[in-house]
Amino acid sequence: MTTTNAALKQWVEEVAKLTQPDKIHWCNGSDAENKALIEQMLVTGDLIKLNQKTHPNCYLHRSNPTDVARVEHLTFICTKNKDEAGPNNNWMDPAEANAKMDALFAGAMKGRTLYVIPYCMGPINSPYARCGVEITDSPYVVINMRIMANMGDAALKRIERDGVFVKGLHSIGDLDPNKRFIMHFPENLTIKSIGSGYGGNALLGKKCHALRIASYQARTEGWLAEHMLIMGIQNPAGKTRYIAAAFPSACGKTNLAMLIPPSNIPGWKIWTVGDDICWLNVGSDGQMRAINPEAGYFGVAPGTNLKTNPNAYTTIQHDTIFTNVALTADNQPWWEGMKEGTPVIDWRGNPYDPKNGPAAHPNSRFTVNAKQNPCYSPHADDADGVPISAILFGGRRRELAPLVYEARDWTHGVLVGAGMASETTAAATGAVGVVRRDSMAMKPFCGYNFGDYWQHWLSFADRTDKLPKIYHVNWFRQDKDNNFMWPGFGDNLRVLSWIFDRCEGTVGAQETAIGNLPNAQDLNTSGLDIQPDTLKELLSINKDAWRTEVEQIGEYLNEFGTHTPAKLKDQLSDVKKRLA
Ligand code: SAT
Ligand code: MN
């Protein structure tokens, strides 16, 4: 097979010349192709068959133990001008980066097959969707990309029609962490990644394309590529409003997007549109509209059970690829927080011994087609996307941030997003539990200078007067004994329903220095087991602590020098005045 797109044909030829594969395979995305790849990977040991009685068509993949998460310190934005990448990114000169990568790619595919993966991020008929082609030597990447994107013939046809596509070159190389790099060349819509076979490092349609390259493209084209889930919230009267919510990796986006409302709050229903990435455009009617560029979920396994996320748990009982989970004696997948079963083999493939750490890797994952989700939104594939009523920002904050607050307006909301902070998680290598600024949950994913990115966000106030309301939420407050103060999971619906009713204009709030918080009586607490004092603390602010926070946000904004929009600094001094 080949293509009528001359640029694609030429690129594949060039890459083959450099990497010297034994074979070239153009992926068509068919069932037969997928089956053949799985059969081949079972033979090579790249996949392990799980218990087919309990988990039909489920497989386990074990990655190299040194290759289990994104590597932010090895991820670069390579623009001509360093300033354009900003202090939020590692930067390398494009000529230097290309030379370095070309040397690493030389002969890298010897003895391997080169797979050409045409894919479309977003509904194939959507004007907001964008295409790419990933070249890889990893069959694991191929079978994952098939789940995560519209992959194969239809995408290739669209590429041939549109003429444009993002080029993503990937090789697992020799998995040596010293020869591992994830390079982005946004000016040429190009990605080069070598030395890792894991998640966001290797499935290039996901963070590399749909966030880093897309955010850069979105800035020039007037839209937003965001690290957000998208969900529909249906109220008891049958009305559905859509929200998008940005939380850092492994902070519960998948759980929130699939939430099942508590039984003591009848009549509400949640619909999942997406669980990780959101592309926002202003429609011709001035309404902000969202599409999910992904077709599947690459979700965190640990903690997922019938209580925390029944929809996800149901979704992953069949046709799922598990990565780095543990096994029970009868070959069922197992992870910490499963609540049933006993691990016998750990994620490395060794007999499980608690002395060696958790049975499943904390960043172990499931890859599954979104359509298997019982609450998959009937509008998830709408070409025009879904209309967004509210945007939520949030993170893990043991202290300080109340359960929920509402920004005063869009401009204030951009400050709320820019000033966001969260504790680091196992989704990236490095220390876990350290609070860091993570603007809009995009710290690892924004393909250009955060200062310019905030300016781009602010500019939407000039594009339309129908902008969504903006909120900040924090499910992770802890008391002095380190107990979570808010039950979270399904009970988060109580916060979502307040937000829904705020959009309707039917519920109250108290104005505070940092924004509008619900009064205790504004939140539906029927059937909720929570002490009035705890609720009071969750719904109030500590002015002293917030004064310190505002100082720190100010210092952070200053790190971006002349790129920081004056409007944002004005907003911050307004908050400061209100706190005085
Ligand atoms: O590894 S991924 O980037 O795909 C998952 C995540 O960190 O959100
Ligand atoms: Mn993510």
List the chain pLDDT tens, one digit each, 580 residues.
689 999 999 999 999 999 999 999 999 999 999 999 999 999 999 999 999 999 999 999 999 999 999 999 999 999 999 999 999 999 999 999 999 999 999 999 999 999 999 999 999 999 999 999 999 999 999 999 999 999 999 999 999 999 999 999 999 999 999 999 999 999 999 999 999 999 999 999 999 999 999 999 999 999 999 999 999 999 999 999 999 999 999 899 999 999 999 999 999 999 999 999 999 999 999 999 999 999 999 999 999 999 999 999 999 999 999 999 999 999 999 999 998 999 999 999 999 999 999 999 999 999 999 999 999 999 999 999 999 999 999 999 999 999 999 999 999 999 999 999 999 999 899 999 998 999 999 999 999 999 999 999 999 999 999 999 999 999 999 999 999 999 999 999 999 999 999 999 999 999 999 999 999 999 999 999 999 999 999 999 999 999 999 999 999 999 999 999 999 999 999 999 999 9
Residue 1 pLDDT: 67
What's the distance, CA 311 to chain centroid? 18
166: left (phi over 0), alpha (psi -120 to 50) or beta: beta
Domain boundary residue, one of 326, 357, 372: 372
Asked if residue 309 and residue 391 are part of one domain, the reply reads no
Residues 352 and 392 in one domain: no
Could you count the other beta carbons within 10 Å of the beta carbon of residue 127? 11
Say whether both 385 and 453 belong to one domain.
yes
Give the Å distances, CA to CA, from 98 to 105, 193, 244. Answer: 10, 11, 36
Domain membership flag for residue 66: no
Claim to verify: residue 420 and residue 450 sit in the same structural domain: yes
In a domain, 575, yes or no: yes
Please check whether residue 58 lies inside any domain of the structure.
Answer: no
Residue 342 and residue 328 in contact, taking contact as beta carbons nearer than 8 Å: yes
Residues 269 and 350 in one domain: no
> What is the DSSP pairing of strand 240-246 with strand 288-291?
unpaired
> What pLDDT does 252 receive?
92
Of all atoms in ligand 1, which is nearest to the CA of residue 427?
A: 7
396: CATH: 3.90.228.20
Residue 170, ligand 1, Cβ within 6 A: no
CATH number, position 193: 3.40.449.10
Task: Judge whether 236 lies within some domain.
Answer: yes
**Full 3-state SS string of 141-155:** HHHHHHHHCEECHHH
Give yes or no: residues 368 and 382 share one domain.
no
CATH number, domain containing residue 308: 2.170.8.10
The answer to whether the CB of 427 is under 6 A from ligand 1 is yes
Is residue 192 located within the same domain as residue 273? Answer: no
Instruction: Answer whether residue 97 is part of any domain.
Output: yes
Whether 387 maps to a domain, the answer reads yes
Do 200 and 107 belong together in one domain? yes
The response to whether residue 200 sits with its C-beta less than 6 Å from ligand 1 reads: yes
> With a 6 A CB cut-off, is 212 part of the ligand 1 pocket?
no
Burial class (CB in 10 A: 0-12, 13-18, 19+), 212: buried
Q: Which ligand is nearest to the CA of 199?
A: 1
426 inside domain: yes
Residues carrying an active site annotation: 251
Number of domains the chain contains:
3
Average pLDDT, the chain: 97
Residues 241 and 365 in one domain: no
Is residue 303 one of the residues assigned to a domain? yes
361 and 419 inside one domain = no
Q: pTM of the prediction?
A: 0.98
Domain extent at residue 190? 6-45+71-222
Among 144, 184, 203, 207, residue to substitute to test ligand 1 (most atoms within 8 Å of Cβ)? 207
Same domain, 282 and 353: no
Which residues, 6 or more positions from 409, have their beta carbon under 8 angstroms from its beta carbon? Answer: none
- Domain check: are 237 and 347 in the same one? no
